[in-house]
Structures are given as C-alpha cells and as structure tokens.
Chain A
Amino acid sequence: MAQVSSTDPHGSAAVAARIERRWALMVVGIVALLVAIVIFTGLHWAMMPPSRVETIDPTRLHVDGEFIESNLGSAVESDGSVTVRIVGQQYSFTPQCIVVPTKTSVTFRATSSDVVHGMLITGTNINSMLEPGYVATFKTQFDTPGDHLMPCHEYCGVGHEAMWANVKVVDKEDFLKMAAHARRLTCDL
C-alpha cells in the first residue's frame, strides 16, 4: 500500500495498518453472516418474491383468459389449495373484498389492466407490484381469521389515495361451506 516516510520512530504506521486490517476482516464477517441468513431463510422457509417473468396482454384481460371478470376472486383447486386472482386498475381492485381461508396454501395471481399498481395486505408480509403486461404470482398462508386492509402502494394517478381493498380471512371450514355454493368467492357487496 502507500509508502510512508521513514522518520516514524514508533512503527505507528504498522500498528495503524494492523488495527485497520482487523476491522476490515470483521466487516467482511458481518456481511457474510447477513448474506448467510438471507440464503438460509430463502431456502429453508422457501420465502421467495414474485419472480416468474410471465407476460400477459393487458388490453385483452376482460375478453378472454384467466383474468376475465367471472374468473376473479378465490377458487378452490382440486388439491385443496386456493388460488386468488386479482386485477388492479385506476382506481380499484377487482374484487374489492377478497375472502381467503385459514391454514390453507393460498396462491395469489395478480396483474394490472392499465398502469403500475401495487398491493400489500396489512399485518402480513404479503407485498407485490402489479404491472401491466406481467403476472405476479406468490404463495402464502394465513394462520388466524381477521380483517385486513389492502391498499395500492404504488402511485398510479390522481385517484391513487382512494384505491383500497379489504381482505377477510375466515375459518377454513366456513370458507369451504361458502365455496360449495359458488365457483369463485369474494366478499364484494
């Protein structure tokens, strides 16, 4: 490294460099630990963000395919899991009230029909962007029944502040009773 003048009587340059090196090693250790934690939770808890790079034509959402209006809301799959399909648009979600069961694997599939929106469900770590042209997919599970808010969290135009939906988590048994009468469930009024 930098050469220093030879008039240093105490070898203080060497001492300074040694202390510095020790700190640098500690720093590298801290960073390595943080990265290890991220890797562990990513693999062990299978906690992964929505990352499938799946595209969809936003101009045809309402015409055909998975995101037509009659297919939105919560659907019970043949393996007992639940899929929730959501569309965001200026300035609402469809459905505006989402109903999901407790203690069941829930897969969200969501997209936008116009501009970039986002969604988070308060009191949980569910959080995703909704982008026109792309489908966001992520899995989760709700442990306890309750009511949550689901605001749009990305600026989407002048009505952004009014774009809120509700999420109702109900007991698994109650949910299945409701599902016996309807192909797709929502709690829209």
Chain B
Amino acid sequence: MIYNKRLVLAHFWLAFAVFGLAVVLGEWQMFIRSPLHGWLRNPDLYYRSVTAHGTVMGYVFPTLIAMGFGYAITEASLKQPLIGRRWAWVGYFLIIIGSVAALVPVSLGLDSVLYTFYPPMIGNAFYYVGVVLVVVGSWIWVALMGINMGAWKRANPGSPVPLAMFANVAGAYLWAWTAVGAALELLFQILPVALGFSSTINAGLSRVLFSWTLHAIVYFWLMPAYIAFYTIVPRAIGGRLYSDTMARISFVLFLVFAMPIGIHHLFADPQVGSGFKFVHSVFTAMVSVPTLLTVFTICASVEIAARLRGGSGVFGWLKALPWDNPQMLALAFSFVMLGFGGAGGLINMSYQLDSTIHNTQWITGHFHLIFAGAIVVMYFAIAYDLWPHLTGRAMQDLRLIRWQLWLWFVGMIVTTFPWHYVGILGMPRRMAYYDYSAPGLVGQGVAVIMSTVGGAMLLASAILFLAILYRNHSARQIEPAPWTFSRAVHEPVSLPLALNGLSLWVGLMVALTITNYGYPILQLIGLHDAQVPAVYIGAKP
C-alpha cells in the first residue's frame, strides 16, 4: 500500500516533465549540427542547450525517479507509512529551487560549461549552487531511506528486509558516496573561484574528483531499472524470481565495485599515472560481474514464467512469453540495449582500445544506449506499473504503450548506432556544427542525419509517453490491488547478516574508494605548479 501517493506522483511528474523538455533540446541539438541545417550563427546557443540537456538528464531526472520510486518502495515493501514525510517534501522543493537556480543562468548563456563543469572554465556561481542544492535535496532522501529501513529492522528483528527495499537503500548509499567527488570539486575548487575568492584552479585534480562521481552515477541511474528487473517484471509477467540471494549479491557488488573505477574516464589524461589507470581498468572489468549475474537470474525468472504458461523446449518457451505485456516488452528492449551498450563499454574500459574512441561520438552513443536506452525504458515500465496504484485509475492504453516502447527502442538504435560508427571514424563530441564539405568528413553527414531521424522517433515516443500518463488521470476509476513485488522461487526465511544489511558493503565501498583514489588525489593536491588561471565564461572582453 502506498500511503503518500501525492509525494510519489509529484516526484514522477516533475521528473517526466523535465525529461520531456530535455528530449526536445536533445533533438534540436541533433538537428542543428546535421547537414539538414546550415551553420548556427551563435554556437553558444548549442552549448547552452547541451549544458541544460546534460544537467537535467544527468542530475535532475534520474534523481527524482530514484527518489519517487524509493518512497513508493519504502511504503509498499515495508508496509508502513514513510517516516519523515515533511523532510521528503523539503528535499523535493530543494530540487526545484536548485534546478531553477541552475538553469536560469544556463539559458542566459552565463554557464555554458556543460554538466561536466570543465574547469578552468568558470561560469556564474548560481549554476553550481543550483547543482549543489539538487544534490543536497537528494541526500535528504538518502537519509530517509536509511532511517526507514532501520526502523523496520528494529521492529522486525531477524526478518529478511524485502529485496526491493534492500536494493533501494543500496542505491541510496551508492549515490550518497558517489556524489561526494563532485561535491568536493564544487565546494573546494570551483565555487571559491566562481565567487571571486580565488582566481586559479588545479584542472587535473578537478577531473579526478569529477571522475569519482562520473562513473558510479551511472550505477545510481541504473538502480531503479535493476530493482524493476528483479522485483516488478517477474511478478508482472506471472513468474517467480529465480534467486533472492543472487539478487542481493548483485546489488552489494554494485555498491562495492561501481565506485573505485572512475579513472577509466581519464585514460587519455596526463595527470594520472599508468598504475592507477590500470587498477581502475581491472576494477571496471569486475563491475560487469553483477550485470552478468543479473542477466542470468532475470532470464531464468522469465523462463519460469514461460514454463508456467505452458512453454516447453530448449528455446520454444520463448514463444510462450506474454509479449503483449508492456513489462515483458520493456525488459526485452532493455536487455538488447544493455547488451550492445555493455559490449561497447568493455571496449571503453580497455586500456588500449579506448584510445581509438575516447571523446568521440562513440562515447555519446555508448552512454545514450545504456542510460537513455536500457535504463530509461525501464523508468517507463516502472511508471506504467505504478501509475494505476497512484491514480486509482485503470491503465487502458495498452496498445499505445506498446507503440511507445517500440518507438523508443527503434529510435534509440537508429540514433546510437550511427554515432558509434562516426565515432570510430574519429568524429569528436560536443561540436555545434561540422564542416561536412571537408575532405576528411565526407560521407559522415548521412550518419548524422540518420541519428537525427532516430532522435525524432525518440521525441515522438516521449510525447506519447507523457500523453499516456496524462490520459490515465481521467480514465475509469478502479480499486487497484496492493502494489506488490515478485516472489522468489525460494523465499528467504532468514538471511546471513551480510545480506540483510549494508554496513559491511558500505565499509568496503569507502575503503576501496580510498585505496583507488587516495594517492592520485593527494599527489595532485601537492602539485602547486598545476594551479592554472581560471577562464571565465560569458566575461565581457
């Protein structure tokens, strides 16, 4: 039972509203730099748009989804009203205030620094303060998740924490710790310069601190999708979760291994030694373990559903799956995109192969396939599953939902595959336009047009998605059954302490981060020569 429906709905609606705006910006960017449009007279408009698109999609949208979903999971899985409801609203409004504070100066052209900040470029302080407020708002959620799980455990000593809540709190703790890197960069390096207390900055150190956040943030985005894989999809398609234990192991492995690997974003950087680059490369390989375990467990759970529905044979059971069920469809699309995106990721994490594609459009293709593809399609699925329980109205547009999911899937493939291709040819990221008549770029225009067409399909799908959710609010009223989670084939009766709480894993996460980041950070702090003058954005010449 979800007690605070308004709280959950507010988070989801705000998330999807800003998502819709950012999708429009994304497609505009694709169009503007394709051969379909001439030169943009003011390229800064493009970079304002990229900054807004990245800030919304990277920080605001997934954070609101994780928060709203987390509140729903807390109440439904623990079967108790949320403790700290007022604080939850405080966090929500902090995110609104932060987003406005950040995006107003961005749209005025005072902060075209992209969501990755890129010091020594320094923009208007309001942008950075806004991002900090968004993070602080989300930290209230982190605290509430821990408090609610703790209260339940004290009231139910020895009982297994429901898997959905366990995973949800793991995601919250992961976010709390991964945000620290960018927070240190903002508070100790960028804001002092943006506010005028200092005029120099160590750009190499900033990049290392940001990499602390930049990789694990993807796993924070991923958590709601994985929670849906394990706890929603098997139930929705009439199956059972293959293994509750394996699910818990996967989530704690994410907690431990998602963090100490961010330097693989810096393979081509001169300020990190090869030893630490290599160590991070190896740990990046290890973070594929929980994903491979998940693929196994979820495929097995889906097979159980198929066999319960009368499927048989080695592969024949695939036909017995409920393919018209949106949850089944979303899961299949998510896995296909996760497969392609993951394969590309293995190339990025390789010390050597990375140099072929570093900072090219390949990378743009890679993370759109993973985040906007595999993860966001599950955000859609979560909304479809949750909506009737929030509105008390029937979800009647099943045909439209299938259309929407198909459009998003095909659109994402059509957008990202050409990006991967031109990336291998060496097309750099983040350019407001390309001279398609240059000898070295001939032929690449076609690929960019294909991506633009894919982007148009994504835009259509996003509009359809918002329309479906909106229409539900005036559909016929129903009395929905309680919102529940998948049951495992073998429900846990009691669990070892390590799989019923997170303290051991949080300890390992912090220790591994310090091991893998401590020395590079201290070394760079000691390099006083590397303090370089700030370059102000939007400064009058």
> Hey, which chain B residues are within 8 Å of A35, CB to CB?
281-282, 285
**Interface size of B in residues (CB-CB distance below 8 Å):** 84
Asked if A189 is at the interface of the complex by the 8 Å CB criterion, the answer is no
> Hey, which chain B residues are within 8 Å of A58, CB to CB?
532-533
> Hey, which chain B residues are within 8 Å of A151, CB to CB?
426, 428, 431
Scoring B residues 430 to 446 as 1 if CB is less than 8 Å from chain A, else 0, what string do you get? Answer: 11111100111100000
Whether A127 contacts B268 by the Cβ 8 Å rule is yes
Asked if A148 is at the interface of the complex by the 8 Å CB criterion, the answer is yes
In the complex, the 3 A-B pairs of residues with the closest C-beta atoms, listed nearest first: A122-B426, A153-B428, A133-B530
Q: In chain A, what residue has the closest Cβ to B490?
A: A4
- Give the docked Cα–Cα distance between A152 and B360 (Å): 10
- Give the docked Cα–Cα distance between A38 and B489 (Å): 39
Whether A135 contacts B535 by the Cβ 8 Å rule is no
Whether A134 contacts B434 by the Cβ 8 Å rule is no
Q: Which of A2, A59, A158 contacts B490 (CB 8 A)?
A: A2
> Hey, which chain A residues are within 8 Å of B429, CB to CB?
153, 155
Asked if A78 is at the interface of the complex by the 8 Å CB criterion, the answer is no
> Hey, which chain A residues are within 8 Å of B313, CB to CB?
none
> Hey, which chain A residues are within 8 Å of B428, CB to CB?
118, 120, 151-153
Asked if A176 is at the interface of the complex by the 8 Å CB criterion, the answer is no
Question: Would you list 27 pairs from A and B whose C-beta atoms are within 8 A, ordered by A residue?
Answer: A2-B244, A2-B499, A4-B492, A30-B288, A31-B288, A31-B289, A38-B282, A47-B351, A55-B527, A55-B529, A56-B529, A58-B533, A90-B535, A115-B203, A120-B359, A125-B356, A127-B268, A129-B270, A147-B440, A149-B440, A153-B358, A153-B359, A154-B359, A155-B50, A157-B121, A158-B44, A159-B43
Scoring A residues 1 to 31 as 1 if CB is less than 8 Å from chain B, else 0, what string do you get? Answer: 1111100100011001101100110011011
Whether B426 contacts A161 by the Cβ 8 Å rule is no
Asked if A34 is at the interface of the complex by the 8 Å CB criterion, the answer is yes
Scoring B residues 477 to 495 as 1 if CB is less than 8 Å from chain A, else 0, what string do you get? Answer: 0000000000001111111
Give, as a whole number of angstroms, the nearest-CB distance from B287 to chain A: 9
Q: Say which one of B142-150, B271-279, B410-418 lies at the interface with A.
A: B271-279
Asked if B230 is at the interface of the complex by the 8 Å CB criterion, the answer is no
Whether B532 contacts A51 by the Cβ 8 Å rule is no
Q: In chain B, what residue has the closest Cβ to A37?
A: B350
Known contacts A28-B289, A153-B428: A161-B43 contact under CB 8 Å: yes
Q: Say which one of B3-11, B94-102, B112-120 lies at the interface with A.
A: B112-120
Q: In chain B, what residue has the closest Cβ to A122?
A: B426
Scoring B residues 523 to 540 as 1 if CB is less than 8 Å from chain A, else 0, what string do you get? Answer: 100010111110101000
Q: In chain A, what residue has the closest Cβ to B50?
A: A155
Interface residues of B in 41-69 (CB under 8 A from A): 43-44, 47, 50
Whether A52 contacts B441 by the Cβ 8 Å rule is no
Asked if B157 is at the interface of the complex by the 8 Å CB criterion, the answer is no
Whether A51 contacts B273 by the Cβ 8 Å rule is yes
Q: In chain A, what residue has the closest Cβ to B441?
A: A149
Q: Which of A1, A31, A131 contacts B204 (CB 8 A)?
A: A131
- Give the docked Cα–Cα distance between A17 and B44 (Å): 57
Interface residues of A in 86-134 (CB under 8 A from B): 90, 114-116, 118, 120-123, 125-129, 131-134
Asked if A57 is at the interface of the complex by the 8 Å CB criterion, the answer is yes
Residue ranges of A at the interface with B (Cβ–Cβ < 8 Å):
1-5, 8, 12-13, 16-17, 19-20, 23-24, 27-28, 30-31, 34-35, 37-38, 41-42, 45, 47-59, 90, 114-116, 118, 120-123, 125-129, 131-137, 147-149, 151-161, 164
Chain B CB count within 10 A is highest, among A24, A52, A126, A157, for: A157
Give, as a whole number of angstroms, the nearest-CB distance from A180 to chain B: 30
Known contacts A55-B527, A149-B426: A20-B246 contact under CB 8 Å: yes
Whether A38 contacts B281 by the Cβ 8 Å rule is yes
Q: In chain A, what residue has the closest Cβ to B291?
A: A27
- Give the docked Cα–Cα distance between A87 and B44 (Å): 24
> Hey, which chain A residues are within 8 Å of B431, CB to CB?
151, 160-161
- Give the docked Cα–Cα distance between A1 and B434 (Å): 57
Q: In chain A, what residue has the closest Cβ to B114?
A: A155
Asked if B308 is at the interface of the complex by the 8 Å CB criterion, the answer is no
Whether B271 contacts A115 by the Cβ 8 Å rule is no
Asked if B397 is at the interface of the complex by the 8 Å CB criterion, the answer is no
Asked if B352 is at the interface of the complex by the 8 Å CB criterion, the answer is yes
Asked if B267 is at the interface of the complex by the 8 Å CB criterion, the answer is yes
Known contacts A2-B492, A132-B532: A118-B359 contact under CB 8 Å: yes
Whether A133 contacts B535 by the Cβ 8 Å rule is no
- Give the docked Cα–Cα distance between A115 and B112 (Å): 14
